[in-house]
């Protein structure tokens, strides 16, 4: 019975690995507002952007790196990286406003 209850709780919790708190509640509330038709904050599916949390992957690639090494890596990347669609440097890209 305990295993069933735990499984059911995870199925209803959209962020089961997050600790309960203001950050988790803010994200859940935000997603509910922007995905509920009729909400003043509703965003149609074609206009939505998905992001993924890669903290576990990032931490694995940075393990053992000094602050100076990390700073150099970031500077080298930002100096050469380009947006995959526009082929423009990320520093030339602007965030869209309005939402």
pLDDT number for residue 90: 82
Q: Would the pTM count as exceeding 0.85?
A: no
Same domain assignment for residues 45 and 79: no
CB 55 within 8 A of CB 62: no
- Going by C-beta distance under 8 Å and a sequence separation of 6 or more, which residues neighbour residue 24? 15, 18
**Tally of domains in the chain:** 2
Give the per-residue pLDDT at 55: 64
In a domain, 13, yes or no: yes
pLDDT value of residue 99: 44
Each residue's pLDDT, cut to its tens digit, for the chain (99 residues) gives: 545 444 455 568 988 888 899 999 999 999 999 999 999 999 999 998 877 666 676 666 777 888 898 889 889 988 999 888 888 888 887 755 444
- Does 1 map to a domain? no
Structural domain for 88, as ranges = 60-92
User: 12 and 43: one domain?
Assistant: yes
């Amino acid at each position: 019975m305990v295993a069933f209850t735990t499984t059911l709780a995870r199925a209803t919790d959209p962020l089961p690995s997050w600790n309960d708190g203001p950050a988790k509640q803010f994200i859940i509330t935000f997603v509910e507002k922007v995905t509920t038709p009729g909400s003043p904050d509703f965003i149609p599916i074609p206009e939505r952007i998905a992001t993924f949390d890669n903290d576990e992957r990032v931490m694995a690639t940075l393990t053992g790196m000094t602050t100076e090494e990390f700073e150099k890596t970031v500077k080298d990347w930002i100096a050469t990286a380009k947006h995959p669609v526009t082929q423009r440097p990320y520093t030339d890209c602007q965030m869209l406003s309005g939402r």
